[in-house]
Amino acid sequence: MGFEEFAAARLASLLRYAVLLSGDREEARDIVQEVLARALVKWGRIGSVQDPYGYVRRMVTNEFLSLRRRRRVWTVPLGPETVDGASAPHAPDPPPEPDDELWRLLMQLPRQQRAVIVLRYYESLSDLEIAEVLGCRSGTVRSNASRALATLRVELDEPATSERILS
């Protein structure tokens, strides 16, 4: 399979995966674009492995977890008028905030824990496969999953507890 065929077949799933990891569509596009650019250069080697999608998925995960992705880019959203008073009819709308409580809590998890949860429940990988993708031991995967799920349980149960106290 050539790179173009691979990219056409797997682009949508790579983008969905990156969105789940990052929580931001634009950052996900940047991650996938960067990874596919690097994969194109190395396609002779990547295309010959047994599971090229798994290899590229690991590249996406590593790009997400890398220090380069931890940097914050501060932007100032433009309103309907620019600095000089002219209208800006094509100003992009700010991305909508997820209204799902679980999604919001998932985005608050540390990156490594979030990656483990996404790989386990979205990609349906085993602990050994997740460990291979993340480059760690399966015990680390189980520990991260346990901590992430405990955090999610506490956060999801917290409002119900406070509502009972107030009643």
Residues 1 and 67 in one domain: yes
What whole-number distance in Å separates Cα of residue 77 and Cα of residue 90?
13
Per-residue pLDDT of the chain (167 residues; tens, 9 = 90+): 899 999 999 999 999 999 999 888 999 999 999 999 999 999 999 999 999 999 999 999 999 988 454 555 444 454 544 444 444 444 434 444 555 777 888 889 999 999 999 999 989 999 999 999 999 999 999 999 999 999 988 887 775 544 545 44
Residue 164 domain boundaries: 100-167
Task: Indicate whether 163 and 106 sit together in one domain.
Answer: yes
Could you tell me how many residues make up the chain? 167
Residue 45 inside a domain? The answer is yes
Q: Is residue 20 part of a domain?
A: yes
User: Looking at this protein, which amino acid is placed at residue 22?
Assistant: S
How many degrees, rounded to 5, is the angle at CA 10 between CA 38 and CA 23?
A: 80
- Of 51, 71, 91, the residue at which a domain comes to its end is 71
Whether residues 60 and 125 fall in one domain: no
Alpha helix segments (H runs only) across 66-137: 67-70, 101-108, 111-121, 127-134
162 shares a domain with 109:
yes
Residues 2 and 67 in one domain: yes
Enter the pTM of the model: 0.68
